[in-house]
Amino acid sequence: MTPAIHFSLVDHTIDCPSLAAALADPAAGAVVTFDGRVRDHNDGRLVSHLEYQAYPALVVSTGQKILEEECARHGILRARAAHRTGALAIGEVAVWLGVASAHRGPAFDAARVIMERLKYELPIWKKETYADGHTEWVGPDNHSADTGFPREVVPEWKATLLEIWISEGNNFRGRHEQASLTHEIRSVPQVECIAGMGLRGDRYFGYKENFKGQVTFFDEDAVQAVRDYSQKPDLSSSVFRRNLIVRGVELGAWIGKRFRFQGLEFEGSEECKPCYWMDQVAAPGAEEFLKSNFRGGLRARILTSGVLRVGQ
């Protein structure tokens, strides 16, 4: 004899037809069912797949309790619900609910309230993977995963990363009145950003706690302007010793602001002030030139870890 009301947690494809068949009841004039499926977008970002994690014992007891309470409240004759765990692709069913009642009013009402409660009360956590490879734990109703409060929408830069420069050591910093060191600066096609630390392989990686210059951005327009100013059309963007040469964003507008770039989150901290070494490597007066119009670049902290790639 099958139970009238049953909640299950499964780690494989939910058998929707079988669950629906269990709702058959000669006294039921109305059967309402709901599929919760994996959507291809969230918060304006493309989702590639997702994963559900559960606390099994408590999910099953809570799910069963929710069904029994609401079925009693609404006069529901039979109910089935199932939630999946593990990895799911776009379009797959994550949660299924069906209720059977004599009349349609209670069936629709019960289905609605049960779904709301399942979403808020089941100890289940969703982790989304986006098209850009970035992953994130999602909070209730897409709120923040760590506080449960509404998430700020962090604006996304529509900029292109043209070059990445990293160097093992400082050539100029702290070397007043001395000749520069000769740490090579290397151009790389991609670089690993570690939140709170910097760019792996770069001299400022882990330099100090909460360092404002974990990464530096520099505008390609500024590179070109200095080339024109110093009449050196082939001047390499490496001479500025900024990490990331970008095009398409006004760097000065991002001081104190969070932003997303290639799926990673940063926070602009301050302008990157040029030093008098610029007069040597570019041309006399270059330092002053760079100080105007925010040409020195943007220092930023890294808030999420991941990889930045040239050309995107």
Minimum CB distance to another protein, residue 145 (Å): 5
In the list 20, 25, 139, 258, the residue contacting another protein (rule: CB under 8 A) is 139
Using an 8 Å Cβ cutoff, are 211 and 138 in contact?
no
Span near another protein by CB under 8 A; candidates 101-109, 144-152, 228-236, 260-268: 144-152
In the list 14, 38, 47, 54, the residue contacting another protein (rule: CB under 8 A) is 54
Minimum CB distance to another protein, residue 142 (Å): 8
In the list 4, 28, 58, 195, the residue contacting another protein (rule: CB under 8 A) is 58
Minimum CB distance to another protein, residue 61 (Å): 7
Is 122 one of the binding residues for another protein (CB under 8 A)?
yes
Is 303 one of the binding residues for another protein (CB under 8 A)?
no
3-state secondary structure the chain: CCCCEEEEEECCCCCHHHHHHCCCCCCCCEEEEEEEECCCEECCEEEEEEEEEECHHHHHHHHHHHHHHHHHHHCEEEEEEEEECEEEECCCEEEEEEEEECCHHHHHHHHHHHHHHHHHHCCEEEEEEECCCCEEEECHHHCCCCCCCCCCCCCECCCEEEEEEEECCCCCCCCCCCCCCCCCEEEECEEEEECCCEECCCCCCCCCCCCCCCEEEEEHHHHHHHHHHHCCCCCCHHHHCCCEEEECCCHHHHECCEEEECCEEEEEEEECCCCCHHHHHCCCCHHHHHHHHHCCCEEEEECCCEEEECCC
Q: With respect to another protein, which residue has the nearer C-beta, 122 or 226?
A: 122
Nearest to residue 258, comparing CAs of 218, 300, 298? 300
Interacting residues with another protein between 224 and 263 (CB under 8 A): none
Interacting residues with another protein between 59 and 118 (CB under 8 A): 59, 61-62, 83, 94-95, 115, 118
Q: With respect to another protein, which residue has the nearer C-beta, 121 or 221?
A: 121
Minimum CB distance to another protein, residue 133 (Å): 17
Minimum CB distance to another protein, residue 52 (Å): 7
What distance in Å separates the CA atoms of residue 224 and residue 233, rounded to the nearest whole number? 8
- CA atoms within 13 Å, Cβ hemisphere of 235: 23
In the list 57, 72, 89, 131, the residue contacting another protein (rule: CB under 8 A) is 57
In the list 127, 173, 203, 291, the residue contacting another protein (rule: CB under 8 A) is 127
Span near another protein by CB under 8 A; candidates 146-154, 245-253, 255-263, 286-294: 146-154
Q: With respect to another protein, which residue has the nearer C-beta, 119 or 309?
A: 119
Is 11 one of the binding residues for another protein (CB under 8 A)?
no
Minimum CB distance to another protein, residue 157 (Å): 25
What residue ranges bind another protein (CB under 8 A)?
Answer: 36, 52-55, 57-59, 61-62, 83, 94-95, 115, 118-127, 137-149
